[in-house]
């Protein structure tokens, strides 16, 4: 059941700060879930031939930064209920900096190794929150996200880059020390619900061994104060409040165009971001 606002209570904000994650937060209603799913499947189907040739870690070319190019994703990234919750954590001024669909269809071996996002994002201060919004059910059988509570307060852990074929992360990065999986919490979500996670929480997910697709988008929101250490001026989109800092080149919300025109915009954006976040990564 969705309500008019999704602002977090002081207790929810305290739990997010203490644990490094919070779930579930209901955000999309039934019509929005259906519209999102229809648009997502059309996007995926249009790119299925390319996707079939790609290792899991290369699929960002099709699935990341879509909020900059496709109005249907922008509508999710700028959804008032999503932003109410994000504002409770970040304050009144919010930029949508990055997004990534994490998709595991039945039969796919895709997994996400344990990692900390902060290691590669070069964002300071860490006033960043990821909203993981589910269009389908997410549960242990289809490889829902898992977190290790409280690990966002620990120092950065060593990570190695594996470039493993079925790892959905762009570098196949994984934490190089033992992770106490007995402490892992499964972020179980119903369609239309989201979880929030901190930029330094240790998280990952297993493969989908069920017949239920796992389809969710992780949208990264930052405060305008945040600086990204980057060879090019990074881009972002103002989704709430104002930006008095100018650390990011602000992009306009995408407009409805032909699928080919939107795909072309998307390819340009992905290439530009690859040159910033993915510097020093293997091809």
Ligand X SMILES: O=C(O)CCC(=O)C(=O)O
- Binding residues for ligand X, rule: CB under 6 A, are 102, 112, 117, 130, 132, 145, 203, 205, 218
Distance CA 164, CA 110 (A): 10
Give 129 or 262: the residue with its C-beta nearer to ligand X.
129
Give 132 or 248: the residue with its C-beta nearer to ligand X.
132
Minimum distance, C-beta of residue 242 to ligand X, in the bound complex (Å): 27
Minimum distance, C-beta of residue 31 to ligand X, in the bound complex (Å): 24
Give 145 or 237: the residue with its C-beta nearer to ligand X.
145
Query: Are the beta carbons of 220 and 97 closer than 8 angstroms?
Result: yes
Distance CA 240, CA 144 (A): 29
User: How far are the Cα atoms of 146, 182, 202, 243 from residue 185, in angstroms, in the given order?
Assistant: 5, 9, 11, 35
Give 220 or 240: the residue with its C-beta nearer to ligand X.
220
Give 83 or 103: the residue with its C-beta nearer to ligand X.
103
Query: Are the beta carbons of 171 and 57 closer than 8 angstroms?
Result: yes
Helices 10-19/80-90 angle, 10° precision: 70
Distance CA 80, CA 87 (A): 10
Query: Are the beta carbons of 195 and 21 closer than 8 angstroms?
Result: yes
Which residues make beta-bridge pairs with 237? 96
Give 186 or 243: the residue with its C-beta nearer to ligand X.
186
Rounded CA Rg of the chain: 17
Minimum distance, C-beta of residue 146 to ligand X, in the bound complex (Å): 8
Minimum distance, C-beta of residue 177 to ligand X, in the bound complex (Å): 18
Minimum distance, C-beta of residue 182 to ligand X, in the bound complex (Å): 19
Query: Are the beta carbons of 33 and 190 closer than 8 angstroms?
Result: no
Minimum distance, C-beta of residue 218 to ligand X, in the bound complex (Å): 3
Give 142 or 230: the residue with its C-beta nearer to ligand X.
142
Q: What is the per-residue burial (b if ≥16 Cβ within 10 Å, else e) of 107-118?
A: ebebbbbbbbbb
Minimum distance, C-beta of residue 75 to ligand X, in the bound complex (Å): 20
User: How far are the Cα atoms of 59, 89, 204, 260 from residue 50, in angstroms, in the given order?
Assistant: 9, 38, 25, 15
């Amino acid at each position: 059941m969705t309500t008019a606002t999704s602002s977090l209570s002081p207790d929810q904000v305290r739990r997010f700060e203490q644990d490094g994650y919070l779930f579930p937060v209901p955000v999309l209603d039934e019509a929005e879930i259906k519209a999102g799913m229809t648009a997502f499947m059309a996007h995926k189907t249009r790119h299925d031939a390319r996707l079939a040739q790609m290792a899991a870690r290369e699929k960002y070319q099709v699935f990341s930064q879509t909020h900059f190019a496709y109005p249907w994703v922008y509508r999710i990234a700028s959804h008032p209920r999503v932003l109410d919750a994000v504002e409770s954590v970040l304050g009144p001024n919010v930029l949508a900096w990055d997004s990534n669909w994490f998709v595991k269809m039945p039969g796919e071996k895709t997994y996400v190794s344990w990692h900390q996002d902060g290691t590669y994002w070069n964002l300071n201060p860490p006033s960043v929150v990821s909203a993981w919004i589910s269009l389908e059910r997410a549960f242990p059988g289809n490889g829902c996200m898992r977190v290790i509570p409280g690990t966002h307060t620990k120092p950065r852990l060593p990570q190695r880059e594996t470039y493993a074929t079925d790892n959905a992360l762009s570098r196949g990065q994984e934490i190089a020390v033992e992770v106490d999986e007995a402490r892992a919490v499964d972020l179980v979500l119903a369609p239309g619900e989201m979880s929030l996670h901190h930029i330094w929480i240790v998280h990952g997910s297993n493969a989908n061994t069920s017949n239920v697709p796992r389809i969710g988008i992780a949208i990264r929101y930052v405060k305008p104060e945040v600086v990204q250490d980057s060879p090019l001026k990074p881009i972002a989109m103002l989704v709430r409040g104002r930006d008095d800092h100018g650390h990011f080149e602000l992009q306009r919300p995408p407009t409805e165009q032909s699928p080919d025109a939107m795909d072309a915009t998307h390819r340009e954006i992905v290439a530009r971001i690859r040159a910033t976040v993915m510097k020093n990564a293997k091809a």
